[in-house]
Amino acid sequence: MAACEVAWLRKLLGDLGLHVDRQVVIYCDNLSSIQLARNLVFHAWMKHIEVHYHFIREKVLASEIDLVYVSIEDQVADIFTKVLGVEKHRRFCSMLGVMELELSLRGSVEMSSSTRADTHDVP
C-alpha cells in the first residue's frame, strides 16, 4: 500500500518541479517481508501472496524504493496503529514534525533544542 503512495508522491512532487532522483527509503520492521521484496527466490509457501503485492518488489528492482529495517523503538508509523505510552508518544510526535509552535506572523519560528533532538534521527 505504501509503495503505491510513493509512486503517487513522486509524481506529485515531480509536477511541482521537485524531482526526487534518489531512492525513497521506506522503513519497515518486518525482516521477512524486506527479504521477500529484495529477493527473487520464491518458496512454495509464498504462493498465497497475491500479484499486487509484487508491485513493491518491482519498485525495489527498479531502484525507486529501498526497504530498510527499523526496530520497533524507532518505527514512527506505530503511532497510527495503536495507543502508545507517554514517552514513546512524545518521541514519535517530534519525529513526525508535530511540535509546539509559537504563533508568530512575522519572522521565523525558532526551534527549541529539546524538540530538535530527534527529528529524523534514524539509524
Contact residues: another protein, CB under 8 A = 1-2, 5-6, 9-10, 13, 18, 20, 22, 24-29, 70, 75-86, 89-90, 92-93, 96-103, 108-109, 111, 119-120, 122
The phi and psi torsions of 49 (rounded to 5 degrees) equal -75, 125
31: which strand partners?
none
In this structure, are residues 64 and 74 in contact, taking their beta carbons and an 8 Å threshold? no
Q: How far is the CB of 29 from another protein (least distance, A)?
A: 7
Nearer to another protein, 55 or 79 (CB): 79
**Residue 95 Cβ vs another protein, minimum distance, rounded to whole Å:** 8
Closest to another protein by CB, 50 vs 102, is 102
Three-class SS state of 14: helix
What does the radius of gyration of the chain's CA atoms come to, in whole angstroms?
A: 18
Choose between 22 and 44: whose C-beta lies nearer to another protein. Answer: 22
Q: For residue 9, what is its C-alpha cell?
A: 508522491
